[in-house]
Amino acid sequence: MVDTKVILSGIELSNPIIPASGTFGFGYEFAELYDINMLGTFSFKGTTKDARFGNPTPRIAECREGMINSVGLQNPGVHKVIEEELPKLKQCFSKPVMANVSGFSVEEYVYTCELLDKCPQVGWLEVNISCPNVHNGGMAFGTSADNAAQVVKAVKAVTTKPVYVKLSPNVTDIASIAVACEEAGADGISLINTLLGMKIDLKTKKPVVANKMGGFSGRAILPVAVRMVYQVYEAVKIPVIGMGGVARAEDVIEMMLAGATAVEVGAENLVNPYACRDIIEDLPRVMKKYGINKLTDIIGGAH
């Protein structure tokens, strides 16, 4: 028997597979298709302090080997998530869940994280710093090491649960931003978020997405994600969650060899709602094929 278990900041996962935020809702929608308790855990829909309607439509554009999205963090706001979404999730998911948090100021991150930190269902906080900083000319927190550290310090001051920082790949030196987060007290790093992309309709000769540009994700970005996970693993001592283009069990092994302790699956859930189930079921076969008895033995194995 192969051993698929991993430990993420003191919490044991039966396997490293985590559906990524924004592609799995609040879980109960997928629970109608299969038993989601087979997952390691999942990162629920990005949550902000206040309810958000999101960006104008159209928000999605299909591309070869991927997609562009500009949903704009549509969510009911943290109070509704705690009062309505988490109780519904509890009916179908018995494991600790990852709370994905976004904000438009340090104060918003602090407010939302402090509330979610008190929820017994929440095992980890995944802080998405790829959002615009409204106090600094709209620049994303994640594109500046100083801004990233500022968010981490403020969130760590009001939370007790492990804080993973989700980084944007749209930077020159992702390792230096990861190091800044680690020095500010982050318990782990999640990467990568989407790349900035665009698609133009040849008939209308206009961008397909109303926002003109959006986040490019899907199978095409796997090599970029693997490279960045590899770089960050070399730069920090805290755990790394890898994501970006993961679609098969083989991709999970590649991410873990690059340095990931756990692996998130994003766009593939929108192509195939059974993607995470299929990857988990196929992992033992792929492990045997490559002579892997225990997944924890291969973390960072390519270094």
- As to burial, measured by CB atoms within 10 angstroms (0-12 exposed, 13-18 middle, 19+ buried), residue 221 is buried
Catalytic residues: 131
Rg (Cα) of the chain, in Å, rounded? 18
Is 13 strand, coil or helix? strand
Question: Which residues 6+ apart lie within 8 Å of 97 measured at CB?
Answer: 27, 41, 42, 43, 44, 89, 121, 122, 123
Residue 203 buriedness (CB in 10 A; 0-12 / 13-18 / 19+): exposed
Contact status, residue 128 vs residue 151, Cβ threshold 8 Å: no
What burial letters (b/e) apply to 223-256, b meaning 16+ CB within 10 Å? eebbebbbbbbebbebbbbbbbbbbbbebbbbbb
Report how far residue 116's alpha carbon sits from residue 47's, in angstroms, rounded to the nearest whole number.
10
Contact 243, 169 (CB under 8 A): no
The tokens 């930190």 sit on which residue?
117
6 beta partners: 13
Tokens of 142: 């994640």
